């Protein structure tokens, strides 16, 4: 008998998910603007609050935690003050640090966002996006090999910041195949075609166009189908789920193509929506939901987090309420 959405969400509890990729800190400076600087034509922000949150692949971990799963981050961070802040954030949330490698050759990525009167006015990035070195790659692979023994799903969260390299990707996919663990990917441009043989590949419209060097329209489904067919020929992945922004999601595998339209939302901020989508899709895949339900549930979750300013994880109760109305 097929799982209901409620049963599937209950089965998320306790699932072990390895999240491999680029972790970072999302730093927020909240304030208000009431004048323009005399030094340059820019607003002066009077700071009311400063906050640090887990971002990038770590935001996927936050979403997984909110959904009841047990995330384990596998990544390389620096040996700097920002790394200390990041490790403290892991402790606050109760996320395992077993898979984290600290390297003097890296700096911990921080994205500073300035938000004034509910408007995102500026972002400043502090990062090193060069590929990790051979020693750090070997250490990370050793951790992944060990930690994946009882994993229910492996998620690649690629932000093009250097942790995921073609060598590491293919070795981890090989480990997953050997152990029978499903793999899911939220890709970026640099390694787009390196994820050959994964279970679920989830690009957005921009990433699909750039990665394939193939221009197509997200509102013309025949063109989306043609793009996913081209991707399958290049990568031989099992499922492809393309997020199409206001046009919903399109999911394709060897036997079917399904287009799910978007639901009307009051969009406040799209930051982090992709992290929510891959988190929900990965767990839904792990518990055996059919792919149309995987896509539908992930589509709902991505829309829900867009109603909030800043990068926020999905609320599981809100997701269930929404799913029972619309799926």
Distance CA 171, CA 166 (A): 9
Distance CA 283, CA 269 (A): 24
The answer to whether residue 150 is catalytic is: no
Q: What is the DSSP string of 3-45?
A: PPHHHHHHHTTT-EEEEEE-EEEEEEEEEEEEEE-SSSSSEEE
Distance CA 271, CA 308 (A): 9
Q: Which of 158, 186, 275, 292 is catalytic?
A: 275
Which phi and psi angles does 250 have, rounded to 5°?
A: -125, 125
Distance CA 315, CA 53 (A): 16
Distance CA 48, CA 327 (A): 41
- Can you list the positions of beta strands (E) in 173-289? 183-186, 200-201, 239-243, 249-253, 257-260
First to last CA, the chain: 17
- Using CB atoms within 10 A of its CB, is residue 135 exposed (0-12), middle (13-18) or buried (19+)? exposed
**Residue positions annotated with a catalytic role:** 275
């Amino acid at each position: 008998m097929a799982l209901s959405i409620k049963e599937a969400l209950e089965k998320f509890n306790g699932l072990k998910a390895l999240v491999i990729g680029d972790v970072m800190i999302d730093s927020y400076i909240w304030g208000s603007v009431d004048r323009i600087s005399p030094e340059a034509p820019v607003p002066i922000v009077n700071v009311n609050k400063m906050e640090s949150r887990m971002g990038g692949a770590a935001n996927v971990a936050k979403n997984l935690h909110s959904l009841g799963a047990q995330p384990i981050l596998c990544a390389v961070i620096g040996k700097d003050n920002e790394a200390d802040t990041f490790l403290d954030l892991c402790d606050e949330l109760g996320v395992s640090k077993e898979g984290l490698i600290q390297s003097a050759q890296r700096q911990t990525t921080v994205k500073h966002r300035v938000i004034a009167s509910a408007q995102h006015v500026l972002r400043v990035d502090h990062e090193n996006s060069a590929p990790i070195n051979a020693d750090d790659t070997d250490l990370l692979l050793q951790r992944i090999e060990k930690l994946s023994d009882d994993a229910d799903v492996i998620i690649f969260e690629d932000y093009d910041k250097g942790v995921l390299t073609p060598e590491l990707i293919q070795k981890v996919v090989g480990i997953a195949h050997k152990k029978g663990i499903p793999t899911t990917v939220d890709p970026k441009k640099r390694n787009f075609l390196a994820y050959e043989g994964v279970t679920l590949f989830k690009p957005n419209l921009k990433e699909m166009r750039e990665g394939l060097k193939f221009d197509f329209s997200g509102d013309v489904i025949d063109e989306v189908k043609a793009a996913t067919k081209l991707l399958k020929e290049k990568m031989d992945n099992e499922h492809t789920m393309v997020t199409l922004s206001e046009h919903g999601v399109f999911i394709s595998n060897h036997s079917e193509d399904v287009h799910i339209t978007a639901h009307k939302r009051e969009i406040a901020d799209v930051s982090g929506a992709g992290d929510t989508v891959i988190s929900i899709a990965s767990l839904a895949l792990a518990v055996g939901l059919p792919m149309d339900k995987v896509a539908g549930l992930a589509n709902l979750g991505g829309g829900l987090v867009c109603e909030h300013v800043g990068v926020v994880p999905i609320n599981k109760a809100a997701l269930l309420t929404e799913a029972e109305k619309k799926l």
